[in-house]
Amino acid sequence: MKTVYAIAAAVLMSSLSQGANASHSTYNPMAPRQISVDASQKDYSYGLTVLPGNSIDSLDPFFRYVGWYPNYYVLDRYIIRPVAHGYAKLPETVKLGVGNFFNNISDINNTVNNMVVGDPASSGVSLSRLMLNSTVGMLGLFDIASRVGLDYRPMKMDTVMGKAGFDQGMYMMLPVLGPYTERSAHGELIDSWPYAFVGEPIVSALLWSLKTVHNRAELIPQEEMIDKAFDPYVQTRQVFLMYTEGKVNPDAALQSDSEDQNVDDFLDEIDDVE
């Protein structure tokens, strides 16, 4: 698992910078430095469209051919999608158990991250879920905590960084790994620390593969929206950035130039994957 995420960190083109405001910083992702107020107010977008979260797809052609085409037209079409559809035919109890297991691992991060954003109540709920599901729930295979009113409260480091003022940074479509921004790549690298205790690289790889297939199967109902999009690359990029920015600013209305009414359903579906 550490090796996989290290690949994401290695391909980052520049580092994140922190802005002045908690919800929306003044950082411009294309600015070389934020050394003065004047510099922060200058337009460094070089004619590119500024996307949700102040992200800019500055290497669109590169990530289309190196990341998107192999991922969408080869890996997903001939490997991941068929496997995900096969997985989706398993009994619901099996799929539910797999999802519960990974949610239980995520509660380790949820406990810490919710505390960092100043939400001790959610942090306490996440810790209680972790303790209850790890024991009575047999390592999280059974979500006993939800049955007693302790609901799942996810909080990724990506969201924590966004609330602290970090912008999305450059958008990237990484081979095998999929869509990322500079912020989300750093955040996921940090959130992957619980898997470091697994020890065996083979076991870590198997866990990552199982989680990938499970998450991909959850998105099967949304395949048509991407497949029939005029530009599937842009559609995926917009939904991903809208979703991650919506986590940082949940009260902000998520709007898109697209009139496709399935976007909200897609975002809800991703929430279920969380």
Percent of the chain with pLDDT over 90: 62
Number of domains in the chain: 1
| Range of weakest confidence among 47-61, 136-150, 218-232 | 47-61
Domain that holds residue 114: 2-273
Q: Is the pLDDT of residue 125 over 80?
A: yes
From the centroid of its chain, how far is CA 19?
Answer: 21
Helix, strand, coil percent content, the chain, rounded in steps of 5: 60, 5, 35
Please give the pLDDT value at position 40: 56
User: CB within 8 A of 244, min separation 6: which ones?
Assistant: 52, 53, 158, 159, 162, 168, 181, 183, 184
Contact indicator for 108, 130 with CB cutoff of 8 Å: yes
User: CB within 8 A of 91, min separation 6: which ones?
Assistant: none
pLDDT in tens, 195-253: 888 778 888 889 999 999 999 999 999 899 999 999 999 999 999 999 999 999 887 64
- The structure's pTM equals 0.76
From the centroid of its chain, how far is CA 45?
Answer: 24
42 or 50: which carries more pLDDT confidence? 50
Tell me the average pLDDT across 130-144: 96
Please give the pLDDT value at position 35: 52
Cα–Cα distance, 26 to 47 (Å, whole number): 18
Q: Is the pLDDT of residue 259 over 60?
A: no
172's enclosing H/E stretch is: strand 171-174
Percent of the chain with pLDDT over 70: 74
Tell me the average pLDDT across 164-168: 89
pLDDT in tens, 73-95: 999 999 999 999 999 999 999 99
222 or 20: which carries more pLDDT confidence? 222
